[in-house]
Amino acid sequence: MHIYKAIHTAIKAHEGQIRKLDQDIYVAHPIEVGMILAKNNLSDEVIVSGILHDTVEDTPLTLDEIELAFGPIVRLYVDYCSECDKSDSWKNRKLNYLARLRNAPLDVLFIVCADKLTNIKSIYRNLNDLGEQLWSRFNAGYEEQKWYYYEILNLLSPIADHPLYSELEKQIRLVFIH
């Protein structure tokens, strides 16, 4: 597949974007997602989709453009990973996202798992420095984030026997039990 091309597409699409938590360049996140998926021996289509998972949601790139460059499977996987209506409330966006993922192919669950793993690791890294102030950098506070991450774990139960799930579960417990 086109992993190299996906990396370049993500770099271009996310140019100038930064992560709200640690002010890191944004594209480091989707590349890390792709690396986690590769390390876990997932298919090239899954890796490419992981690298591109935020492009439709956060950049002008469209699903049609993704399909043209990477094919219908990557389009489908990226579509599942994208939140629908950014104008809706945080809670409604998350509820809609979770509902959509209930019908997602198994490969999409691995992408979601890798995505949430990179996010929760970033939270954990920054928690010691920022303390409880960390939660003010998000659109939802500690309790809402805790609810969301545990809902994600429930949703990912079909892959609960995979080491990637175990790593996510461990990281979530580190953040939300301390």
The model's pLDDT over 10-63, given as tens digits with 9 standing for 90+, comes to 999 999 999 988 888 999 999 999 999 999 999 999 999 999 999 999 999 999
Examine the pLDDT at 84 and tell me if it is beyond 80: no
Residue 22, pLDDT score: 83
Would residue 22 show up in a list of annotated catalytic residues for this protein? Answer: no
The boundaries of the domain holding residue 73 are 3-177
Does residue 70 contact residue 77 with C-beta atoms inside 8 Å?
Answer: no
87-106 average pLDDT score: 95
Residue 117, pLDDT score: 99
Would residue 58 show up in a list of annotated catalytic residues for this protein? Answer: yes
**Of 22, 44, 57, 144, catalytic:** 57
**Of 24, 32, 44, 58, catalytic:** 58
Instruction: Indicate which CATH number applies to the domain containing 151.
Output: 1.10.3210.10
**Cα 126 from Cα 67, distance rounded (Å):** 36
* 64 phi, psi to nearest 5 deg: -60, -40
**Cα 75 from Cα 147, distance rounded (Å):** 29
Total structural domains in the chain? Answer: 1
pLDDT digits (tens, 9 = 90+) for 110-164: 999 999 999 999 999 999 888 888 898 888 999 999 999 999 999 999 999 999 9
Residue 14, pLDDT score: 96
Residue 1, pLDDT score: 56
Residue 80, pLDDT score: 97
Q: For residue 178, name the pLDDT band (cuts at 50, 70, 90).
A: low
Q: What distance lies between CA 94 and its chain's CA centroid?
A: 12
